[in-house]
Amino acid sequence: MIRLRRESVAKGVSLNTSINQIISEHLNWHRMAAPAMLYYLPKPFLISIIEELNDEELGAFARETAKSDLVDISLFLRGGFTVASLSNITETCLRISQMSHRILIDGDKCTIIIEHDMGHNYPYLIKEISRYILEVVFEAQTSCDITDNSVMIMIKSSW
C-alpha cells in the first residue's frame, strides 16, 4: 500500500484513483486476457520475431491477424466486432502496455499516433492490420504514416 501511495503521489492522483484504475484494468483486461488468447511477451523477443519477416510475410500475417484473431478477441472481450469495440480494445491495450500514444478526434476524423520504439517492421504490421480492418471490413477511408519509432493512422469515418 505504501508503494501504491508513492506511485499515486508521483502521478499526481489520489490513492483512490490509483486503486480504481487497478480494479478497472483487471476487470476490463487482465482477467480476460488469457481466455481471449492474449499473452505477454518480452518486447525484445517480439521485435526480433517481427524483424525477421519480409514485407510479403508481414502483409500475410497482418491480413490473417485482422481476419480471424482480432475478430475473435473483439467478440470475446467486448461482445461484438465493431469500430467502437476495436477502438476500445486498442486504447486499453496501448494504456496497459504503457505505449506512448495520442488519440485526436476532430469531427468525422480520428488520428491515432503511437510511439513504439520497436523498429521498422512493427509499424508496417500495425499499418497493414489497421488498413485491412478499417478499409476492407468497415469501409473507412484511412491513411497511415510510419517511421521506425512511430505510426500515425488517420481515419475518416463513414459510419
% of the chain beyond a pLDDT of 70:
99
Cα→Cα distances 150→31, 76, 109, Å: 29, 29, 19
pLDDT at residue 43, rounded to an integer: 92
- Tell me: do 3 and 61 sit in the same domain: no
pLDDT category, 159, cuts 50, 70, 90?
low
Residues 128 and 147 in one domain: yes
- 24 and 54, same domain (yes or no): no
Max CA pair span of the chain:
50
Q: At what angle do helices 121-131 and 55-64 cross, to 10 degrees?
A: 40
Q: Are residues 16 and 88 in the same domain?
A: no
Work out the angle at residue 153's Cα, subtended by the Cα atoms of residues 147 and 154, and round it to the nearest 5 degrees.
130
> Do 26 and 48 have their domain in common?
no
Query: Is 94 in the same domain as 118?
Result: yes
Kindly state whether residues 20 and 42 are assigned to the same domain. Answer: no
* φ/ψ (deg, to 5) at 108: -95, 15
SS3 (DSSP) at 51: helix
Q: Judge if 125 and 151 occupy the same domain.
A: yes
pLDDT at 27: 86
Tell me: do 43 and 18 sit in the same domain.
Answer: no
75 lies in the same domain as 16: no
> Is the same domain home to 149 and 74?
yes
pTM for this model (two decimals): 0.82
Residue range(s) defining the domain that contains residue 91: 37-156
Give the pLDDT confidence of 47-62 residue by residue, as tens digits: 999 999 999 999 999 9
Q: How many domains does the chain have?
A: 2
pLDDT at 64 over 60: yes
pLDDT digits (tens, 9 = 90+) for 20-41: 989 988 888 888 888 888 888 9
Q: For residue 99, what is the domain's CATH number?
A: 3.90.1520.10
Q: Which three cell numbers stand for residue 143?
A: 491513411
State pLDDT tens for residues 69-124.
999 999 989 999 998 899 899 999 999 888 999 999 999 899 999 999 898 899 99
For residues 128 and 59, state if they share a domain: yes
